[in-house]
Amino acid sequence: MKVKTLLFLIIFQTSYIMSSDNFGIAVHGGAGVMKNLSEEQKQKIENKISDTLIKAYTILEKGGSSIDAVEFAVAELEDSPLFNAGKGSVYNSNGVQEMDASIMSGKDRMAGAVASIQRIKNPIKLARKVAESTEHVMLVGEGAEIFAKNIGETIVDQDYFYSEKNLKRLKKAKAKKNAGIQSATQDKIGTVGAVALDINGNISAATSTGGMTNKMPGRVGDSPIIGSGTWAQNGVCGVSSTGHGEYFIKYQVAREVCARIEYLDKNIRTSSKEILNELKNIDAEGGLIAIDSEANIAMPFNTDGMIRGSITSKSTLNVAIY
Ligand code: GLY
């Protein structure tokens, strides 16, 4: 970890001298109840977030696009059992994982999303294919999986997503009297997302999730909804949300952050913090990551913690949970 940080600082210094452009990336691994995380869990999470950020930043540093950087970062986190997305997705009330994801490019408003998919290894890659290879923005369930098969996207057995820990979470949620669905923020694992600005000024955002433990089959949260879980708009901002999806849909949180910058001339920190405070007032828990056109980053949350990190051309690697 220390050696990696040192290496990054050397790379960072070199890149800063060579380029005057602002660019950068932020990622999140979900907001929620984090206070009972063991030291070992914290270390694993921080290492995964650091590794992902350093690799994604290298894409941007080499002149790569923000859409490639956010897709890469989210796919890395989907492949880890530490987060509630891809491999680590939580179970619905039928004991099945149903995943949602979306991606957006602020350059041309290209947007793609998938929802309620059960056997796709990397939902975020399929979301991008929906944007680039169909006339649609969102595909769901069986239709999305048939599309995935037709284009050769990686399909896995449901065994790939098997998790003792997530089954225990489901049993606990079912056992709770009147529990209904388990609040997304009660889990120690969460939705993943990334926002990035590249050297050409293009902003992109991506979000992926397994949703909520014990959710109804077919329930779709905010993560695949453009404007709620994900938004990207060149010259303004890019946002990826995490938290209690129903509220994030009703308050169009990702777009709202950018709208306040665009129309009310707020800065990214004020805009995103204001919205999280407003959500807290109605008991809507969660957080978000946002980047603006000058690579300023905001990562507010109204929960106990949010797994998050960023690197930009003007700020060093920063990873935090609380
Ligand atoms: N924010 C993730 C969900 O509610 O599904």
Q: Mean pLDDT, 10 residues at a time, over the chain (322 residues)?
A: 51 45 96 87 96 98 98 98 97 97 98 98 98 98 98 96 95 74 60 98 98 96 98 98 97 98 98 97 96 98 96 96 95
Residue 270 burial (10 A CB sphere; 0-12, 13-18, 19+):
middle
28 Cβ contact partners less than 8 Å away, ≥ 6 residues apart: 190, 191, 192, 193, 194, 240, 242, 287, 288, 289, 299, 306, 307, 308
**Closest ligand 1 atom, CA of 221?**
5
Ligand 1 centroid to 190 CA: how many Å? 8
To test the pocket of ligand 1, the residue of 230, 244, 253, 306 to mutate (highest count of ligand atoms within 8 Å of its CB) is 244
Which residue from 82, 146, 90, 87 is spatially nearest to 114, judged by alpha carbons?
146
Ligand 1 centroid to 152 CA: how many Å? 27
Degrees to nearest 5, angle at CA 221 with 218 and 222 = 150
Alpha helical stretches, state H, the chain: 2-18, 39-61, 66-78, 123-133, 141-151, 164-175, 245-250, 253-264, 268-281
Residue 119 burial (10 A CB sphere; 0-12, 13-18, 19+):
middle
- The per-residue pLDDT for 27 is 98
List pocket residues of ligand 1, CB cut-off 6 Å.
184, 191, 209, 211-212, 221-223, 242-245
CA atoms of 23 and 12, how far apart (whole Å): 12
% of the chain with per-residue pLDDT over 70: 90
What type of residue sits at position 53?
L
Q: Which two tokens stand for residue 77?
A: 């986190």
Ligand 1 centroid to 214 CA: how many Å? 12
Which residue from 48, 57, 116 is spatially nearest to 81, judged by alpha carbons?
48
**Closest ligand 1 atom, CA of 245?**
4
- The per-residue pLDDT for 300 is 98
Go through the chain and tell me how many residues it has: 322
DSSP 218: T
To test the pocket of ligand 1, the residue of 187, 212, 240 to mutate (highest count of ligand atoms within 8 Å of its CB) is 212
- The per-residue pLDDT for 40 is 94
DSSP 41: H
- The per-residue pLDDT for 219 is 97
pLDDT digits (tens, 9 = 90+) for 79-127: 999 999 999 999 999 999 999 999 999 999 999 999 999 999 999 999 9
If you take atom 4 of ligand 1, which residue's CA is the nearest one? 245
Dihedral sign for Cα atoms in the order 65, 70, 71, 75: positive
To test the pocket of ligand 1, the residue of 185, 213, 242 to mutate (highest count of ligand atoms within 8 Å of its CB) is 242
Ligand 1 centroid to 271 CA: how many Å? 21
**Closest ligand 1 atom, CA of 244?**
4
- The per-residue pLDDT for 152 is 97
CA atoms of 37 and 44, how far apart (whole Å): 11
Ligand 1 centroid to 56 CA: how many Å? 24
Chain-centroid distance, C-alpha 12:
24
Degrees to nearest 5, angle at CA 225 with 68 and 163 = 75
**What are the residue numbers of the active site?**
191
- The per-residue pLDDT for 87 is 98
**Closest ligand 1 atom, CA of 286?**
1
